[in-house]
Amino acid sequence: MINSIGRRKASTARIYIVKGSGKITINGKDYKDYFPMTITQSTILDPLRIAESEGQYDIKVNVSGGGFKGQSEAIRLGISRSLVKINLDHKKPLKEKKYLTRDSREVERKKFGKPKARKSFQFSKR
């Protein structure tokens, strides 16, 4: 069993990979039930397609925080890291697609006296 962590925005995903039949469970549910949108499903499966290891590993994921996009990209990073731990030959194609790089962009905090982080109320000269 190989485990790794992936993070994106406010999401954290813990990935556990075992040789198996290709079953992917996220928080106890099948990945198609957890992410009904096909875009997020393909985001999760991308590293497996690039490494040509679809249907070879059973993947168990615990993910928390953030929204569906952040969670799916955190899972993608975790799966990519696990595949590199399994076989170093997968590193080059995954790195070319930037799946091994943690996207560190976070939401900027709201400042007092403003409606959002940088947006200001309408300025009135008179």
Per-residue burial over 9-46, b = 16 or more CB atoms within 10 Å of its CB, e = otherwise: bebbbbbbbeeeeeebbbeeeebeebbeeeebbebbbb
pLDDT tens sequence across 8-42: 999 999 999 999 999 999 999 999 999 999 999 99
- The CATH architecture of the domain made up of 2-96 is 2-Layer Sandwich (3.30)
Q: For residue 126, what pLDDT is reported? A: 85
Residue with tokens 């560190």: 104
Q: For residue 65, what pLDDT is reported? A: 95
Q: For residue 36, what pLDDT is reported? A: 95
Instruction: Give the domain ranges of the chain.
Output: 2-96
Does pLDDT of 83 surpass 90? yes
As a whole number, mean pLDDT of residues 71-93 equals 94
Mean pLDDT, the chain, as a whole number? 94
pLDDT tens sequence across 51-76: 999 889 999 999 999 999 999 999 99
